Structure 1
């Protein structure tokens, strides 16, 4: 029904037949509703803000709580320089590092040995059992290892186990030798997000417990330090000596082990890298239980899928990992996987590159039966593989190296090269007619390793000239030495793919 309106004194329209008192009451009621809605909205907004991770007002409480569990790692070893002289092996980045290097080069030859010390960081992960976590490179080659606590107490430590591939090491101290040892808990690095606040505690430049803070800058970084690189990048200040120290989240849990920095000056420029806790925890638990790692082994030679390969294989994109070779004694061969197959999924997990597949296989239990989804001849098929143990396979291969003693070899630019013979063809699963030069070993600290040259790679050309044996490589390098060239170009082949690699002539 239509309701007639009239104009009130204050020029508002009101229904005819209602008193001014009724109108005012209705107006007040509407105001209350609006005010209530405003208050409700403010409460909701406040609740959402409280849920968001804001910058803490201070890291003091967290640092005070966690610092007692963070330790300095001091190592001692006997060293002597290449010329027979002796000089201290100071921790990387030490102010006198360059001085002593020069002194060692210029000093007279001598026969004396000297005890040298180096410093790093670590943290107690189990106070009752006395387990301490650090980096492998912190204690590598050490004759003696000591753990120094925040209060200055110094305890002897024994090495439980190391894993150079992830740069994780586990030490053990006697907890009865010190009262009140504190430990910290592992956190879940998979839940850490880019932009989250983090705090690092360590021993930079030997200065002792130092606290720095920042955010997670990136995830999944590959810095070419090992086959399973998956680093957390942070801008929390990390310097030489922080290696082995913990990276904490705001709950006080360890989500990473500070391991490396990117810097041209030797100091922090805001690019540091930490091993994610999900990887480090698994490695540490294996080292504690077995004294070594036990990784899953699929038994394939793999390479990334390029656009050209994808087109030839009938794939829509470059996702997946191409199988370039399948050793006959490996799990993949027994399961019916063939060279030319493209691995799309492993145990239900999509894989898009070799590093990703290597990591997920290594993290899978030895003996586990997993489904592998493949692309073969234009269709998807699935094979079930029972994984072997990587360490056993590597030991078997290492024992087989005795069969290549009769092959001409040479140590060149961080690589051990050999002229291909029957033993090498069998060991590295080469074609029966394979010839030329083969890389049989690579120094992990060399430029060749940084450029991802691996045992089993073939060298086809040096400076655009074909090489058929080790002597050809030596001759080409000798020619380059007489020029001003600062690098040498090598054409290498791995599986079905070839690539050029430039190596410094000064390496």
Structure 2
């Protein structure tokens, strides 16, 4: 009866030997990690701290300049601190790219490098419309992150976000590209965001969005969340947009955007069928303003723009962004579809600054106001035709008449106005001494009579 037991033990030994590998590998496979890439790029990511003096609301008596002068009282102020991030893109010249909102209105900007050096930075230029700013520091042994081509990104690509969330210092998060070309969010005037689920929190603004091989493809700009925290929806400005803006800021200190002089809309499936087009990618020219750069170039109402300077146009936002990256006076090449045929049109964008005018140049009743085209950040931009009130001096005739910055004048003395020149004609070609303005403000519309 011992024989079956011996056989059982023998079979157990055979099974055990069969399970044990013949030989362990001499070297284990190298673990997958981002550490080598991060060691190269982290020295180029900086922490930005801004100090801003904010006037404190005081008792009305203390606001009286005579009272303050008599008692020699200092201005009631407090210091406000703000924290953000930035990325060195040019080590030789010390250029740093960040968000405009990170350094907006700052009195002192301090940059902290990874080696804990603290250096005061100067502002080279800012672009509030796209939320991009360029700073410069003077320091040795700087490292920069190379700019990548954001147009090569695909949904699903892995990306890395770096910044200083909640002032914690350099923090790295990892995720994927969730979507491309996000626009219409109302966050910036020009929107073409990369959406990612890599954790982006307050303090990450201005930090880099990188590919896994360390190329800069975006600047972290905004998040969407119920309480300002991360819920996996973050947005970054594409590096190609940042590069175009950065070059203008470094060269000119500002971005002077051109104006084509058209109203545009998306190409819907219904419009595509009406125009006899197969696809729905493109921007429809809804109207061409008289005397504009578009009219001079031969662009017509009903044209469908499908390409600008070699880049495909998928929506009206794409065309707005493409025009917004062209400096005033420079050419832009448009591919359009007209009557089912493709055509190339070369246009030279106009200078919108020439379309601005001080209110007193138009009428003494508008003194103190600066008027011009509706800005890209304005919620009515591209939706209505009119003249925007860009600035109003407090206490001026325009202010006393009830006009405020952001108002849009759509008619004057019952004549529609689309440009400052239209407003000038409407004011001068009238027999009445009073001025009747139809004004849009937010969701409201009302008339203003100025005697």
1:184 counterpart (129, 145, 153): 145
- Matching of residue 278 in structure 1 with residue 256 in structure 2: no
Aligned partners of 1:193 and 1:316: how far apart in 2? 24
* Equivalence map 1:319-334=2 (5 Å): 319-334=281-296
* Equivalence map 1:461-476=2 (5 Å): 469-470=447-448
- Matching of residue 74 in structure 1 with residue 38 in structure 2: no
Structure 1's 83 and 290: CA in aligned 2 closer, same or farther, altered over 3 A?
same
* Equivalence map 1:102-117=2 (5 Å): 112-117=76-81
Structure 1's 226 and 398: CA in aligned 2 closer, same or farther, altered over 3 A?
farther
Deviations 1:73-101 (A, max 9, x none): 1111111355669xxxxxxxxxxxxxxxx
- Matching of residue 421 in structure 1 with residue 412 in structure 2: yes
Aligned partners of 2:188 and 2:364: how far apart in 1? 28
Corresponding position of 2:330: 367
Aligned partners of 1:58 and 1:350: how far apart in 2? 36
1:138 counterpart (81, 97, 102): 102
Q: Say if 2:286 and 2:301, in contact at 8 Å, map to a contact too.
A: yes
3-state SS of 1:469 partner: strand
Structure 1's 161 and 429: CA in aligned 2 closer, same or farther, altered over 3 A?
same
Shift of 1:429: 7.8
Corresponding position of 2:70: none
Shift of 1:132: 0.9
Q: Say if 1:231 and 1:275, in contact at 8 Å, map to a contact too.
A: yes
Deviations 1:290-343 (A, max 9, x none): 212254543212223445555665656654323233233322111222334443
Structure 1's 404 and 267: CA in aligned 2 closer, same or farther, altered over 3 A?
farther
Structure 1's 214 and 284: CA in aligned 2 closer, same or farther, altered over 3 A?
same
- Give the alignment's Cα RMSD to 1 decimal: 3.4
Q: Say if 1:346 and 1:373, in contact at 8 Å, map to a contact too.
A: no
Aligned partners of 2:344 and 2:365: how far apart in 1? 40
1:173 counterpart (137, 140, 147): 137
Corresponding position of 1:437: 438
Deviations 1:188-225 (A, max 9, x none): 22222222222222111111111222222221112322
Shift of 1:228: 2.9
Q: Say if 1:322 and 1:340, in contact at 8 Å, map to a contact too.
A: yes
Shift of 1:131: 0.7
* Equivalence map 1:7-22=2 (5 Å): none
Structure 1's 226 and 56: CA in aligned 2 closer, same or farther, altered over 3 A?
farther
Alignment: residue pair count? 361
Corresponding position of 1:59: 34
- Matching of residue 399 in structure 1 with residue 393 in structure 2: no
Gaps of 5+ in 1: 1-49, 86-109, 443-447, 449-458, 472-507
Corresponding position of 1:150: 114
Q: Say if 1:195 and 1:217, in contact at 8 Å, map to a contact too.
A: yes
* Equivalence map 1:212-291=2 (5 Å): 212-222=173-183, 223-291=185-253
Structure 1's 253 and 315: CA in aligned 2 closer, same or farther, altered over 3 A?
closer
Structure 1's 369 and 73: CA in aligned 2 closer, same or farther, altered over 3 A?
closer
Corresponding position of 2:164: 203
Structure 1's 170 and 345: CA in aligned 2 closer, same or farther, altered over 3 A?
closer
Structure 1's 304 and 195: CA in aligned 2 closer, same or farther, altered over 3 A?
closer
3-state SS of 1:420 partner: strand
Structure 1's 119 and 84: CA in aligned 2 closer, same or farther, altered over 3 A?
farther
Aligned partners of 2:268 and 2:54: how far apart in 1? 47
Q: Say if 1:261 and 1:268, in contact at 8 Å, map to a contact too.
A: yes
Aligned partners of 2:363 and 2:31: how far apart in 1? 61
Q: Say if 2:182 and 2:191, in contact at 8 Å, map to a contact too.
A: yes
The structure with more radius of gyration? 1
TM-score (norm 1): 0.63
Deviations 1:129-180 (A, max 9, x none): 11111101101111111111122211111100111121111001112xxx42
* Equivalence map 1:33-52=2 (5 Å): none
Q: Say if 1:227 and 1:358, in contact at 8 Å, map to a contact too.
A: no
Q: Say if 2:176 and 2:197, in contact at 8 Å, map to a contact too.
A: yes
Corresponding position of 1:336: 298
2:347 counterpart (371, 378, 386): 386
Aligned partners of 1:56 and 1:250: how far apart in 2? 15
Aligned partners of 1:323 and 1:279: how far apart in 2? 23
Q: Say if 1:410 and 1:416, in contact at 8 Å, map to a contact too.
A: no
Q: Say if 1:417 and 1:470, in contact at 8 Å, map to a contact too.
A: no
Shift of 1:345: 4.1
Structure 1's 117 and 405: CA in aligned 2 closer, same or farther, altered over 3 A?
farther
Structure 1's 218 and 349: CA in aligned 2 closer, same or farther, altered over 3 A?
closer
Shift of 1:427: 1.9
3-state SS of 1:264 partner: coil
Structure 1's 348 and 118: CA in aligned 2 closer, same or farther, altered over 3 A?
closer
